Amino acid sequence: MKRNIVAGNWKMNKSLAEGVQLAKDVNAAVESAGVLKCDVIVAPPFLHLTEVSKAVGKKVAVSAQNCAAEASGAYTGEVSAAMLKSANIPYTIIGHSERRTYYGETDAILAKKTGQALANGLKVIFCIGEELSQRDNGKYFDVVKGQIENGLFQLSADEFKSIVVAYEPVWAIGTGRTATSEQAQEVHAFIRKTIADKYGKEVADDTSILYGGSCNENNANELFAQPDIDGGLIGGASLVADKFIKIVTAF
Ligand code: PEP
């Protein structure tokens, strides 16, 4: 069964003390919210991962925002999937548009990172999404299909079960310009069909596909009501516990 998921991507925000406090606030809000209809994940910066893990209980999982493409060795500044596993971090985000754009992470690099993550037993939140020009020229289906094929379709059907897909149109990230629920649903349905064509309907139906891009406490409800939107990857609104919990409880 696919799971509904709301994941907060903190990006490069918060001091260590602020991050631990945010984790505690999110955890307290989740605990007092009762039975939830989604899994909750927070993705703090690498430095904060172990302290944030200690600050949350069983209802909040912790994710890295990235991992290295190589297993180990002379890669200054990198953090490997094996290190994340050794710190009991169950998830990593891979392929966020900021990594693709600012750090030149190609589909080939992202495929290697995904391989490292899965080889170390991590689950992967794999981000895809078109830029504004690609939306405007109608190429967005080709773009997301290419990102899935080149970043993920080297995996076996069994490996693919550890993948969560996050559709994040780049023009909607951090811009306050959310995709409409119809726009998002259209692409989510296309992503699920693309997965079904490769791995079969059962795998596709079991894959959680999250929407990201200015998702907030005001629009989450409408977005999450769409049949192929299984939750959200939340940037800005995940930095304030009150806002984040409203998105979590939008299911
Ligand atoms: C993101 O960076 O994954 C994101 C969706 O950011 P925001 O919610 O701020 O648009």
- The enclosing domain of 183 has a CATH number of 3.20.20.70
Task: With residue 81 as reference, give the H or E element that holds it.
Answer: helix 81-86
> Active site includes 96?
yes
Which residue out of 96, 98, 130, 217 is catalytically annotated?
96
Q: Which DSSP letter does residue 241 get?
A: H
Average pLDDT over residues 202-215: 97
- Torsion sign across C-alpha atoms 31, 32, 38, 44: negative
Check if the beta carbon of residue 44 is closer than 8 Å to that of residue 52.
yes
CA distances from 145 to 56, 114, 152, 160 (A): 36, 17, 10, 16
> Active site includes 168?
yes
Q: What is the pLDDT of residue 1?
A: 77
Q: What is the pLDDT of residue 174?
A: 86
Domain range for 61 is 5-248
Q: Which atom of ligand 1 is nearest to the CA of 173?
A: 10
Check if the beta carbon of residue 209 is closer than 8 Å to that of residue 194.
no
Banded pLDDT at 223 (limits 50, 70, 90):
very high
Residue whose pair of structure tokens reads 């806002």 in the numeric block: 243
Which residue out of 98, 105, 130, 168 is catalytically annotated?
168
Number of domains making up the chain:
1
Check if the beta carbon of residue 174 is closer than 8 Å to that of residue 194.
no
69-80 pLDDT tens trace: 999 999 999 999
From the list 164, 162, 113, 168, the residue with the least C-alpha distance to 143 is 168
Share of the chain above pLDDT 90, in %: 97
| Helices 107-119/140-152 angle, 10° precision | 40
